Amino acid sequence: MQREKKYFYFELIYQSTRSHARVGRIHTPHGIIDTPNFVAVGTNATLKAIDNNIVNDIGLQLMFCNTYHLMLQPGTAIIKQAGGLHSFMNRPRPIITDSGGFQVFSLAYGTVKDELKSKGTKKLDNGVLSITEEGVLFRSYRDGKRVLLTPESSIQAQKDLGADIIIPFDELPPYHIDPKKLQDSLLRTHRWEKRSLDAHLENPQQQAIYAVLHGGIDKNLRRQSCQYLTNLPFDGFAIGGSLGKNHQEMFDMLSYTMPYLPKDKPNHLLGIGDLTSLEPCIKLGIDTFDSSHPTRVARHGQLLTNNGTIKILNSCNKTNFQPADPTCPCLMCTKFNRAYIHHLFKAKEITGLTLATIHNLTFMVNHMADYRESILNNMI
Amino acid sequence: MQREKKYFYFELIYQSTRSHARVGRIHTPHGIIDTPNFVAVGTNATLKAIDNNIVNDIGLQLMFCNTYHLMLQPGTAIIKQAGGLHSFMNRPRPIITDSGGFQVFSLAYGTVKDELKSKGTKKLDNGVLSITEEGVLFRSYRDGKRVLLTPESSIQAQKDLGADIIIPFDELPPYHIDPKKLQDSLLRTHRWEKRSLDAHLENPQQQAIYAVLHGGIDKNLRRQSCQYLTNLPFDGFAIGGSLGKNHQEMFDMLSYTMPYLPKDKPNHLLGIGDLTSLEPCIKLGIDTFDSSHPTRVARHGQLLTNNGTIKILNSCNKTNFQPADPTCPCLMCTKFNRAYIHHLFKAKEITGLTLATIHNLTFMVNHMADYRESILNNMI
C-alpha cells in the first residue's frame, strides 16, 4: 500500500518492542533517507561554512532549505531556471523545503525564545503587514518590497525549487495565545494546508508533501489537527506549531500526539535537534529531526562528542595536541589537534568554523546511525 | 657545490636564452619547490577560509606564515611543544616564516600604500615604542604587553616554529625617507641580518636562511646590500625593503639588483604576487613570490582566470549557469556554477569565500606551472 507512489514511500525496517522507536527508510527520487535521522539546515542552499560536496561526502541524507530566504535571494525563478535546487546547489541527495510561513511569523513574533521571554506582550512587528484568509503580506528584509505569501504562492515557490519533500503553508501562532485565537488559527491553518495540498496535487512533480500538525500544547487541538490532516492524502506528517516552553511540555505533547499518526507514513519533528531531545523523541517514534543547532554551535567552538560537548576555546585545549574526538572519522579529528583548532578560534580564522562544522555534522550523521543500530538491536 | 647542505639546495633545471627566466627546484627537508612558484600567505598557520588539507590537495608547494602573529597567538612555545609548525598545522610540505620585522614596522608606518598616501608624514605610532641597535620594542596588538624583538629573539622564534626557510630580522624603512636615514637603516639592517645569521648557524636545525636585500630604490644602496649579504653564507636571497611606488620603479630596481645575486642560490620577491607583476619579474630571474593578493581578492568575489578577473558579484552572473572557468580543475569550477557562487556571495555565506579561495589558489598553482612550461619551451 505504501508503494502507491513509487517515487516516495516509507519502508518500515524494524519496530522496537521496547518503545515506539522504529528504523525505516524513506525512499525519494534522490535516494534513501534512513530513519531515525538528522536533517541539517542549509537556509541559503548551503550549510554555513561548508560546501555541498563536503556535505555529500559526510553522508548527510536530507538537507533542509528555507523557501522564505531563497524566494528573496536569489529568487525561485532563478533556481527553477538552473534546473531546480538540486542542480543549482549541486546536491544529488534528498532536500526538504519549508513553506516560508515559519520565517514570516518568526520574524514577526521573534524567535520562540524571544516570544517566551516577552510572555506574549510582543506583537507582530511591521515586517508582517497583514494576515488575511488569503495569506500573509510582508515586507522583504532585503529590499523592503511587499510580498504576498499564500498557500498557492508558497507551493508554487516550492515547485520551482523542486525539493523532494515540501511543506504546506501554515500559520505559526505564538506560545502565549488566547485559546479561542489558537482555535481560530488552527482552523485557518487547516484551510491553508488543504489549499496547499490541492495546489500541489495539480502538479505533483514527483514531490512529496508533509502536513504540519498544529495545536500548540492543547491536547484537544492536537488531536483535532491530527484527525483532520491524516484524513487528507499527505505523504508524511511534520509536527509543528508551538512545541511547548520546555522539554517536558514537548515530550508530553508528543506522547499524546504521536498515537494519532499513521504508522505507514514518515513523520518529522520541526526545529528540534539538540542532543538531549533526540533519544526521548526517537522512543516516541519520531523519524526525522531538523535543527540548525549542531552547525550553529560549531561556529561558537562547541564540538559535539559522545562524551559531552568540548568547548574548544577553553584554555585547557591550548596545549592539548590530541584530536578532539579520537574515535571520530572526520577531517578535523583525523588531521588536526585540539591546540590547533583552539588557535584557529582564538585567531578568528574562518577555517576553524569550517572544521568544527565538518566535525559536528559528521558527529550527527554517526550519532543517528548509532540510534538506528540500537533500535535494530532492540536496545531502545 | 650547491649540494654542500644536502637538506637544502637549489637545482637549476633550465635557463632561458630569451631572458633571465629560469626553471629550478628548491630541495628542502619537506620536499621540492618547483620554481618559479607562488607562495601563498597563511598568516595564522592557515590560509584564510581553507584548511591545510585542501591546500595540500591543491598542490601548493610553499606556504608563508607570519612569525609576528604566531608569536602573539598561540605563542611559539606552544608550536614548539606541538613539534613545530608542520606538525601543529598538519602541513607536510615546505613552509617559510618571516622575522616579524615587517609586521612590526608596517603596523607602525601603516601599509606601503598608506605610507605612500601620507607622503612620509605618517610617523611611528605608539605600537612601536622604540628602535635601538638591540632591536624593536613594541606593544602586542592582542594584550598590550611590551615585546622586544631582536635578531636573536626573532631567530629563536623561528627555530621554535621550525619552518624550512627562515628570514633574518630587518628594518623596513618607509618609502619616503631621507637618504642619510636610509643609509643608516641599511647598515643597521645589515648588522641585524649578520646577528640573525650567527644565531641561526649556532643551531641550523636543517633550516635554510634567506638574507633580505634592502636599499629601497637607491641603486647604490641596493648594490651595497647585495655585495654585503651575498658574501655571507646565506642559503638564498629575498628582495625586500621598499620596492618602489609603482610597477615600473620595481622592475627598474629588480633590473639593477638581480645581476648581483648568485645564480646557484634561490631568490624570492617579498610581498608581490599580482598577475601583472609576475611575468616581467620571472623574466628578470625571480624564483618565488609571496602574496596574500590572490586569496584576499577571492574573499571579495574576484576570481582569477587566464581570460581576466571575474567579479562574481556582477549581476551578469546572476543567471549564468556555467562554471566560472570551464578549463579549471578546482572544486568550485567542476562542481558549482557562477549563478550559485554569485548567490553565495550575495547571501554572505562563508561557503562562497571558501570556494573562491580554492579557485584562486588552484589558479595560481597552475598559472606558475604554465610559466615553468613556457620557460622550458624557451618561450619567455
Domain residue ranges of chain B, discontinuous segments joined by +: 9-291, 305-380
pLDDT at B295 over 60: yes
Q: Answer whether B82 touches A (CB < 8 Å).
A: yes
CB contact (8 A) between residue A74 and residue B318:
yes
| pLDDT for B13 beyond 90 | yes
In angstroms, the first-to-last Cα distance of chain A is 28
- Dmax (CA) of chain B: 61
Q: Which residues of B touch A336 (CB under 8 A)?
A: 51, 89-90
Residue A208: pLDDT above 50?
Answer: yes
A379 vs A279: CA distance, rounded Å: 12
Tell me, yes or no, if B54 comes closer than 8 A to chain A by beta carbon: no
Testing the interface with A: which of B351, B353, B358, B361 to mutate, by most A Cβ within 10 A?
A: B351
pLDDT, tens only, A128-168? 888 899 999 988 877 888 889 999 999 999 999 999 999 99
Q: Average pLDDT for residues B143-152, to the nearest whole number?
A: 90
Euclidean distance between the first and the last CA atom of chain B, given in angstroms as a whole number = 28
What stretches of chain B show up as alpha helix (H) in DSSP? Answer: 52-58, 67-72, 76-81, 85-89, 101-109, 112-118, 151-161, 179-201, 219-230, 247-257, 275-283, 293-298, 331-335, 338-346, 350-376
Where residue A218 falls among pLDDT bands split at 50, 70, 90? very high
Distance CA B352, CA B348 (A): 8
Quick check: B74 contacting A, CB < 8 Å?
A: yes
CB of B237 within 8 A of CB of B267? yes
Check CB contact of A345 with chain B, cutoff 8 Å: no
* Mean pLDDT for the stretch of residues A112-141: 71
List, for residues A24-62, the tens digit of each pLDDT value.
999 999 999 999 999 999 999 999 999 999 999 999 999
Helix, strand or coil for residue B32?
Answer: strand
CB atoms within 10 A of CB B228: 18
Q: Which residue has the cell 587566464?
A: B306
Chain B positions touching A318 (Cβ under 8 A) are 74, 78
In this prediction, what percent of chain B has a pLDDT beyond 90? 83
Cβ–Cβ under 8 Å, residues B59 and B92: no
Q: A102, A96, A100: which is closest to A26 by C-alpha?
A: A96
Interchain CB contact of A349 with B (< 8 Å)? yes
Mean pLDDT, residues B319-336 taken together = 98
Please give the angle made by the CA atoms of A280, A283 and A284, to the nearest 5 degrees. 90
Digit-coded pLDDT (tens) for B170-188 = 998 888 888 898 999 999 9
Q: Are strands A146-149 and A136-139 parallel, antiparallel or unpaired?
A: antiparallel
d(CA A69, CA A71): 5
> Hey, which residues does B172 pair with through a beta bridge?
none
Tell me the Cα Rg of chain A. Answer: 21
CA pair distance A266, A94, nearest whole angstrom: 14
- Mean pLDDT for A84-104 is 95
Q: List Cβ<8 Å contacts ≥24 apart for B53-58.
A: B53/A331, B53/A335, B53/B90, B54/B358, B55/B91, B55/B361, B56/B91, B56/B92, B56/B93, B58/B330, B58/B358, B58/B361, B58/B362, B58/B365
**Which residues of B are less than 8 Å from A44 in CB distance?**
343-344, 347, 349
B319 vs A81: CB contact, 8 Å cut-off?
Answer: yes
CB contact under 8 A, B53 and A335: yes
Residue A51, chain B, CB below 8 Å: the answer is yes
- What pLDDT shows up at residue A5? 53
Closest residue to B349, CB basis, from A46, A78, A88? A46
pLDDT digits (tens, 9 = 90+) for B220-256: 999 999 999 999 999 999 999 889 889 999 999 999 9
- Subunit contact A321:B347, Cβ cutoff 8 A: no
Other C-beta atoms within 10 Å of A308: how many? Answer: 9
B335 interfacial to chain A (CB closer than 8 Å): yes
**Each residue of A138-149: pLDDT tens digit?**
888 778 888 899
Out of B89, B350, B355, the one facing A350 most closely (by C-beta) is B350
Q: How confident is the model at residue B117 (pLDDT cuts 50, 70, 90)?
A: low
Distance CA A197, CA A169 (A): 9
Query: Cα(B346)–Cα(A98) distance, rounded to whole angstroms?
Result: 21
Task: Name which of B73, B336, B344 is nearest A346 (Cβ-Cβ).
Answer: B73
Give the torsion sign (CA, B262, B379, B288, A340): negative
pLDDT at B142: 79
pLDDT score of B1: 45
B124, pLDDT greater than 70 = no
Predicted confidence at residue A84, as pLDDT, reads 98
DSSP conformational letter for A258: G
pLDDT of B5 higher than 60:
no
Nearest alpha carbon to residue B225 among B171, B266, B265, B264:
B171
Q: Which fold has domain A36-291?
A: TIM Barrel (3.20.20)
Q: For residue B337, which residues of chain A lie inside 8 Å, CB to CB? A: 82, 88
The Cα–Cα gap between A45 and A31 comes to 19
Using the predicted structure, report yes or no on whether residue B190 has a pLDDT greater than 90. Answer: yes
Q: What is the pLDDT of residue B344?
A: 98
Between A210-214, A317-321, B87-91, B126-130, the lowest mean confidence (pLDDT) is in B126-130
Interatomic CA distance for residues B236 and B167, integer angstroms: 10
Here the contacts of B137-146 (C-beta below 8 Å, separation 24 or greater) are B138/B104, B138/B107, B138/B108, B140/B72, B141/B72, B141/B107, B142/B72, B142/B73, B143/B72
CA–CA distance from B326 to each of B291, B307, B333, B345, B368 (Å)? Answer: 25, 11, 7, 20, 19
Spell A45-82 as b/e; 16+ CB within 10 A means b: bbbbbbbbbbbbebebbbbbbbbbbbbbbbbbebbbbb
- Length of chain A, in residues: 380
pLDDT in tens, B343-376: 999 999 999 999 999 999 999 999 999 999 999 9
Residue of A51, A70, A317 best to disrupt the B interface, most CBs of B under 10 A: A51
A374 min Cα distance to partner chain B (Å):
34
Within an 8 Å CB–CB cutoff, is residue A78 touching chain B? yes
Rounded percentage of chain A residues whose pLDDT exceeds 90 = 83
Q: What is the mean pLDDT of chain B?
A: 93
Helix (H, G, I), strand (E, B) or coil at B239: strand
Q: Grid coordinates representing B42?
A: 597563511
* B48 touches A at CB < 8 Å: yes
CB-based contact, A321 to chain B, within 8 Å: yes
How far, in Å, CA of B81 to CA of A216, rounded?
55
Percent of chain A with pLDDT over 70: 94
Q: What angle do CA A79, A85, A90 make, to 5 degrees?
A: 115
Residue B293: what are its φ and ψ, rounded to 5°?
A: -55, -55
Q: What is the number of CB-based contacts under 8 A between chain A and chain B?
A: 119
Q: From the list A49, A319, A339, which residue is nearest B350 (CB)?
A: A49
Rounded CA Rg of chain B: 21
CA A25 vs. chain centroid, Å, equals: 17
What residues 179-208 of chain A have any CB closer than 8 A to a CB of chain B? Answer: none
Q: Which CATH class is domain B9-291?
A: alpha beta
Confidence check: pLDDT of B130 > 80: yes
DSSP for A195-242 reads: HHHHHHHT--TT-EEEEEE--TT-HHHHHHHHHHHHTS--SEEEE-S-
pLDDT confidence of B3, banded at 50, 70, 90? very low
Residue of A82, A340, A354 with shortest CB distance to B354: A354
- Residue range B9-22: mean pLDDT, rounded: 98
Distance from CA of B47 to the nearest CA of A (A): 8
**Tens-place pLDDT, residues A258-291:** 999 999 999 999 999 999 999 999 999 999 999 9
The residue to which cell 625593503 is assigned: B241
User: Which positions of B are annotated as active-site residues?
Assistant: 98, 290
Q: Report CB contact under 8 Å: A90, B344.
A: no
Kind and range of the H or E run holding A63: strand A63-65
Question: What is the reported pLDDT for A3?
Answer: 47
- CA pair distance A145, A72, nearest whole angstrom: 10
The residue type at B138: F
